[in-house]
Structure formats: structure tokens, C-alpha cells
Structure 1
Amino acid sequence: MTTSRPHTLFSFGTLMDEQVQTALFGQAVPTSPASLTGYTTRPLPITDPSVIATSGLDVHLTLRRKYGAVVEGAVLHLTDQDLAAADAYEVDDYARRRVRLSSGESAWAYLDAKPLRSAARIVVVGDSIAYGRCDPRGGWTAHLAAEHIAANEGEHRVFNLAIPGSTLLDVSEQTPGLLAARLPDTLMVAAGINDSATTPTGGDALPHVTDRLDALAATASSHNARLVVAGPIWLDEERTHDYEGLRFTEERALSLREAARSWCDENHIDFLDLWDPLHKRPDLLVDGLHPTPEGHLALYQHLNTLNR
């Protein structure tokens, strides 16, 4: 016999309504007051007729990040079946993610499905590609920072803490000490290509990628930040050859991409796939591995489409 697991879900909107609960779960469910620090709300127009029929509203609320703000709501205590019903009720604009309540406890909540759209203070950690190597303008991260900050000069920030040559082990060990002063609400990890490389000693870091991501997820949670994982870019292995003692191949990069994506799916973490913008475009790579300035712009434009 399969036993249903208990789940806690933070609600700040229509799921707190007993009529909505009865329609979804067959009855009102146990609830307790709760709050979420570091968030505020904004209206979200709803077009799905079934959702409108259940809630009686064509405008719901969605969360966005704001330092110092607090959203009051309640924690719903749900079964597996209840949680599945709640997932089916929420429209595609929402994604179920883990949040840290003001009490310090962890719970599910429905956040904006576009993770950077709702962010305010973004920290980027990663390797030379995230750092912006080969682009004097600072790479795709600089493009992201320019637009994000221009949208709200008072509250929006982007901190690029990427270090060329970093592996996911390096990032997972260095990041905890870098976050407190920057008050991030979003931690974007853009690393791993160095983990995919083969070395003269035969070491293989790929099997440990998920362990590094587990550590980074714990770090993000401890700072009440949403973890976002950026997948690897396409590389032209005909030109990478032996790069500073490392050997990069498309097969290994694809393995990294799949490992990161699968981990994100299993853990309800946001995965931003950066493979396609440069795929089969060797003209957008300086050395087969690092994007040209035009390549960085293409990556940024792709990110923009994923988050707008």
C-alpha cells in the first residue's frame, strides 16, 4: 500500500478560500497562519476559464521579490493527491518551488514561472563564460545586469561573481561566504563545463555534478534565495583540442546538460537551457569554447526570451 506524504504549501491568494479548497480537494484542508519575508505581490490576469470558474476571479496574485517586504498568508497541509490537484489548478504562469518561510521552515509555494522576471537582487556564480571572457563589454551577464537594473534602479541589482576556470566544486565551496553582504533573492549558477572536461590524470567530475548542485541548493535556501541553474552552451570540439590541459567534447557537454536538467526536474529547480543559441554556430565562438561578443549577445537575448 502506498502511503501519502504530508506536504506544506504556502498560499497568499485564492487557495486560502474554503470554497476553492472544497472544489479542488473535496473539503477544506487544515491551515495555519504563515508569512513569507522578502516578497511582495503583483496582479496576474487569468484567461483559463476553468481556473476563473473555480476561483470566481479573473485576476490572481503572483509573488515578486522585494527586500524587506512581507507577504502574509497561510500554510495548507496537503496530501499527495491534494498537491497534484493544486498543481493542476495553477496556470502555466506559476511554478511550484521551495521557499523559506519567515519562521525558517521550508514549504512549497507557487512562484512566477519565469525566475528572473520576478527577481530583484541576482547573484551570478560560475566560470569564464559567465565571467564574460572574450567580451570587453562583460559578456551576457553584463547585458542582463544593464537591462535588469534599468528596470528598477532603486531595487534591482546584479552581482557577477563568476571566476574563470571554476568547477562546480569551486563554486559550491566559495559561494556560501559571498552571499550575505549582497542580500540575494536569486542565485544563478552558470558553471559545470569545466566539470565535463577530461584531464590527463583521468579524473571525472561529471558523476559529482548533482552533489555540487545539492550543496548550492542548500546554500540558496539558507539565504532565502531562489536557485536558477543555467545549462552549458554548445561547444565546437573541432577547435577546442587540448585547452590548458583539459579536453572538451560535445558528448561530455551534452551529458552535463542532461544531468543538470534532470536534477532540476527532480528537485523543482529552475533550469535555463543555453544550448540552442550557439548550436552549430562556430562563428560565435572565439576558440570553440568561449563566445565572441556577438555570441554573448545571442546568449543574453535567449535568456531574455526565457524570462519575459
Structure 2
Amino acid sequence: MMTVFDCWLNTIASRLVLVVAGIFLQQGIAASQPRILYFGDSISEGWIDAELRPKEAFPALTDSILISTGIQFRSENLGVGGETTLDGLRRIDEQVLSEDPDLVVIAFGSNDYYILGEGQNPRVPLDDFTRHLELMIDKCAGIGINVIVLGIPPLIAERFYIYTPAERFAPFGGVAALHQSYRDAMRNLCREKNVPFVAADFAGMEESLLGFDGVHPLPGGHRAIADSLAAAITATLDAAPSEIPVPPDVHVYPSPFAPSSQEYLVIRVEVKSRSRIRAAIHDSRGRRVRSLDYPVSDSGLHFVLWDGTDDLGVPVASGTYFLQLDVDGAVTSRSIPVVH
């Protein structure tokens, strides 16, 4: 005969089972929803008139638009103020590829063309900027991650020059011309690679949509970006996944590798299934000088970078080095001539 206490225990147990089942159901639904990452600089992060206001920035506004249309998804804002495409390239493996999102919005550029001092070049020269952006696209596309590139917003040179001397940019035709060359490079690259490109254009309303520095959009500018970006994201998520190109198994470039003028050596490798790539650089005497452990989240193309230094961060000397690449026990090697 069941007591009142026994009935109470059964009721609690039943409710607990329902709660746990509900938690697992919610987790399963969330796992099946597409995941979007916003990967960029201070504009993505949400800096507006020198204040961090992420709720008014385009990632949050884009999310609101998507939610209003009934799209179920998860998202994360990975914007970091002050970063260039080179900084993005340095953290994309850990913060983007390892997360295996369905779509990433790449939004760099506003810091790349900036010149820190008179007589200097842009922080990231135009050719390097294009190369960094292309490699980020290739890294994502190589493992089946959809990519949308967001263009650099417009610029008001008069406001920009209040805080940055115009003389720095004179050798490049002024900041407006330099800024436009980087915008054009992004658009042209995306056209060549058939990657969706969202131009952050303000249709002649720059005066009211850009902040005091002439670079960072105001909330209205972020809203204009979000309107265009939400449409592109919807179209991309609705489209059938594109076929991943099949390159040679391992390709190393540039060759020869000159660390003093080239920032990194690229090791491109294709894996057929979920794997881990372990790369080691050996000198001509067989001594290991650098270990590179690359966590792979899925099959496809992967790009491992070497900056020409050993495990202690010391640049290696000129000579012939050898790459030993281990993909789940399958080992291959390539020679790497290094010149200074």
C-alpha cells in the first residue's frame, strides 16, 4: 500500500524526468539550428562613438531581423577592436574553424589601411590584405563553412583628419583613395572566388550614419548594414551547400620561403574524414625545430601556417628544412627551402 510520502516521491520523480527530457530536447533542437559567427574588428564588436554598445551593432541587429522572420539559429559575436586581417588570420583556427559553424561573416579592413606614422606604409599593405582575406575564405570554405564577406563601411575624410594627420596618407593619394582601394580589393576578390559580398554602402547618407571619427558607423549605419546582411544570410542558409574543391593532398607555398618578407608559409592539406593534423619542421640534420598541432573539426581543406620560427620563437637560419605531416597516422613529407 502506497503512503502519501510514496505518492509524493513518485510525483517528484515524474516531474524530474519531464524536466530532464525537456532539457535534452532543447539541447537537441539548439544543436540542429544553424550557427552564425560574426568575425571582425571594432565595428563588429560594437564600438560606437568611442563607447562599446554591442546591442546597437550590426551583429545584434542582424540577429533581430533574422528572428523576426522566423529563422531559428545560434550566433556569436567574435569582433575584436583594433584588429587587422592578419590578426584575424592568427585566431581563425581556434575561434572559428574549431567551432564548425554553418556560416561566418568576415568583417575586417578598417584597421588594415590605417597608417601609424608619417613615412610608414599601411598597417597591412594592400596585397597582404587581399592575401589574408583570401586565406581566411579558403580556410572556411575548405571544411564546408559558408562565408559572407562584409565590405568596409564608407569614410568621411574630413572627420578622419581631425584625429589623424593628413600628411601620413598623402603619398597614397589621401585617405579616401587608400580606403577605396581596400574596398575595391574586397569586392574584386569575392567576385573572383564567387563568395557573397555585402557592400556596407550608405547611399549618400554618410554624414548622418558615421560617427565623429568618420570611420565607425552610428546606430543608423549599423541598421543599414544589418538590413543588407540579414538578406544575404537568409539567402546563403537557404542555398544548397556548394561542393568543396579537391586539391592535391599536400601543397606547401611559397617556395622558397623568405620569412623576412613573407609572413608565413602555408601548408595546405586535404583530409577525408574527421582528423587531427600534426606537423613538424625538421632541419637538415633531422632535428625537430617546430611542432604545429592543428585541431581539425571536419573533412575538407585545411591550412596550417608556419612563421619561420622555432618552438622558442627564434627565426630559423637559411637552409633546407623538411615538413613531416601526420594525419591520423598517415605520414607524408615535403622539403622547405628557407632563405633570408
Is the TM-score greater than 0.5? yes
Quote the residue 1:51 is aligned against. none
Q: 2 CA distance for matches of 1:279 and 1:307?
A: 25
Match of 2:185 in 1: 259
- The answer to whether structure 1 residue 229 and structure 2 residue 149 are counterparts is yes
Q: Indicate yes or no: 2:116 matched with 1:199.
A: yes
Query: Which residue in the other structure is 2:325 paired with?
Result: none
Tell me the secondary structure at the aligned position of residue 188 of structure 1.
Answer: strand
Q: Kindly provide the amino acid, as one letter, of the partner of residue 292 in structure 1.
A: L
Q: Separation in 2 of the partners of 1:208 and 1:67?
A: 38
Once residues 307 and 167 of structure 1 are traced to their aligned partners in structure 2, the CA distance between those partners, rounded to angstroms, is 23
State the match for 2:46 in structure 1. Answer: 132
For 2:97 and 2:67, the matched residues in 1 are separated by: 20
Q: Give the aligned partner of residue 178 of structure 1.
A: 95
Q: Which one-letter code corresponds to 2:149 in the other structure?
A: V
Match of 1:167 in 2: 84
* Distance in 2, Cα, partners of 1:149 & 1:280: 27
Any stretches of 5+ residues in structure 1 without a counterpart? 1-65, 70-118
| Cα separation, 2, equivalents of 1:210 and 1:126 | 15
Change (3 A) 1:151 1:184: farther
Give the TM-score normalised by structure 2.
0.50
> Partner residue of 1:141?
59
Q: 2:216 aligns with which of 268, 290, 295?
A: 290
Amino acid at match of 1:121: R
- Three-state SS of the structure 2 residue aligned to 1:193 is coil
AA aligned opposite 2:184: E
Range with bigger deviation, 141-150 or 189-198: 141-150
Structure 2 distance, partners of 1:143, 1:162, is 15
Cα distance in 1 between the residues matched to 2:141 and 2:133: 12
Letter in 2 for 1:265: R
The answer to whether the Cα contact below 8 Å between 1:126 and 1:189 also exists between their aligned partners in 2 is yes
CA distance, structure 2, for counterparts of residue 256 and residue 296 of structure 1: 20
- Partners of 2:204 and 2:231 lie apart in 1 by 17
The CA distance in 2 between the partners of 1:181 and 1:207, in whole Å, is 27
- Please give the root-mean-square deviation of Cα atoms over the aligned residues, in Å: 2.9
Give the Cα separation in 2 of the matches to 1:148 and 1:278: 23
- Partner SS state of residue 47, structure 2: coil
Secondary structure at the aligned position of 1:144 is classed as helix
SS of the equivalent of 1:234 reads: coil
TM-score, length basis structure 1: 0.55
Contact 1:278-1:295 at 8 Å conserved across structures: no
Secondary structure (helix, strand or coil) at the match of 1:147 reads: helix
Aligned positions of 1:63-82 closer than 5 A = none
**Cα separation, 2, equivalents of 1:279 and 1:241:** 20
Following TM superposition, by how much is the alpha carbon of 1:165 offset from its aligned partner in structure 2, in angstroms? Answer: 0.6
Q: Offset at 1:159? A: 1.2
Deviation at 1:146, TM superposition (A): 2.5
Partner of 1:217: 137
The structure with the largest alpha-carbon Rg is: 2
Q: Tell me if structure 1 keeps the 8 A contact 2:65–2:227.
A: no
Q: Aligned-pair distance for 1:158?
A: 1.6
Q: Indicate conservation of the 8 Å contact 1:128/1:164, yes or no.
A: yes
CA contact (8 A) 2:157 2:175 kept: yes
Change in 2 beyond 3 A, CA 1:191/1:278: farther
Distance 1:182 1:149 in 2: 22
Contact 1:149 1:158 in 2 (8 A): no
Give the counterpart letter for 2:190 in structure 1. C
**Which residue identity is paired with 1:139?**
A
8 A contact 2:30–2:74 mirrored in 1 = no
